[in-house]
Amino acid sequence: MTTLQLLNVRQMCRTGEAREIRIKSGLSLAELAKDVHRNKTTVHNWETGKTQPRGDAAIVYGERLLQLRRLLSRMG
């Protein structure tokens, strides 16, 4: 993940887009957290801006959000 990708993931969290993508995808906090190998409190903290995703966790989380966003755009 490049610096720009990391900034994008953090912005998605800050603006609420990350949470919006998760909800529109029909995933619970627990389901997404399990998918990115974190606990639901961590994902909640990212989504609410309490903490920022970092390192490998940011890479996995960012990739998953982008995949979900593409899926949602294809579904219309």
Sign of the alpha-carbon dihedral angle for 43, 47, 49, 52: positive
Under 8 Å between Cβ of 18 and 53: no
Name the band, by pLDDT with cuts 50, 70 and 90, for residue 13. very high
Query: DSSP class of residue 16?
Result: T
Amino acid at 35: D
Whether 1 has a pLDDT exceeding 70, the answer reads: no
Please give the pLDDT value at position 2: 82
pTM to 2 decimal places: 0.91
Give pLDDT tens digits for 40-55: 999 999 999 999 999 8
The C-alpha torsion from 37 through 53 and 68 to 20, rounded to 10°, is 120
pLDDT score for 5: 86
Query: Can you spell out the DSSP letters for 28-43?
Result: -HHHHHHHTTS-HHHH
What domains are there in the chain, each with its CATH number?
Answer: 3-71 (1.10.260.40)
